Amino acid sequence: MIPQTRDRAVALSWLADGDPRLVEGVVAKDVRLRWRGGQRLHVKVKRRRTLDAVVIGVAEPPALVLGLFNDTGEIRTLGLCHLPSEAMRGVQPVIDRLGEPLGLMSRWGEQRGRLWRPLPPVLVAEVAASHVDRGRLRQPARFVRWRPDREPEGCRRDQLTLSHA
């Protein structure tokens, strides 16, 4: 049986005090709504501040260029994520099919020293973000895991506003 409560304070205590090996997060939903296939009627609140982002490029040294879809279906750059060498296996087959690297622009528009190669938006990575400022990561995110179970189109900017505080 999965524990359930209607008390927000109890759910928050599960996040704060629960065994991290057993409690990854909680799911919040309107109790009046029934499950409907293909529709997201609930909010997942994770123990740590992570988000699922689309990989739109790869930079040197191994780093991912991340993006999120906006309300009009356009993908917007979110920032960078350092990529551990063991995680490169997930992105290497896509990298092997790429062309020449392009310059990476900063959020202020000037050219940076780092080069990157664009990728088709087919890979999704869960990343841990410490701070988001005006829709961009202030510092590079930390790679958590690949998300082959997620569709890139489901990685939307509304993740940036969700909080369990």
Summarised one tens digit per residue, pLDDT across range 115-139 is: 777 888 999 999 988 777 778 887 8
115: CB partners within 8 A, 6+ apart: 59, 60, 101, 102, 103, 104
Q: Which residue has the tokens 């409560």?
A: 5
112 neighbors 105 (Cβ within 8 angstroms): yes
**pLDDT class for 100, splitting at 50, 70, 90?**
low
User: Using CA atoms, how far apart are residues 26 and 2, in angstroms rounded to an integer?
Assistant: 11
What Cα–Cα distance (Å) separates residue 60 from each residue in 92, 106, 138, 159? 13, 15, 19, 27
Instruction: Give the containing element (helix H, strand E) for 95.
Output: helix 88-95
pLDDT at 112: 54
Is 98's pLDDT higher than 70? no
Backbone angles phi, psi at 151, to 5 degrees: -85, 135
Could you state, in order of their start, the residue ranges of all structural domains in the chain?
Answer: 8-46, 50-160
Summarised one tens digit per residue, pLDDT across range 22-81 is: 666 778 888 788 877 777 777 777 666 789 999 998 887 788 999 999 989 999 989 989
pLDDT at 13: 83
112 neighbors 106 (Cβ within 8 angstroms): yes
User: Using CA atoms, how far apart are residues 58 and 83, in angstroms rounded to an integer?
Assistant: 9
Write the CATH number of the domain with boundaries 50-160.
2.40.50.140
Q: Which residue has the tokens 């296939």?
A: 37
Return the DSSP state at 139: S
130 neighbors 71 (Cβ within 8 angstroms): no
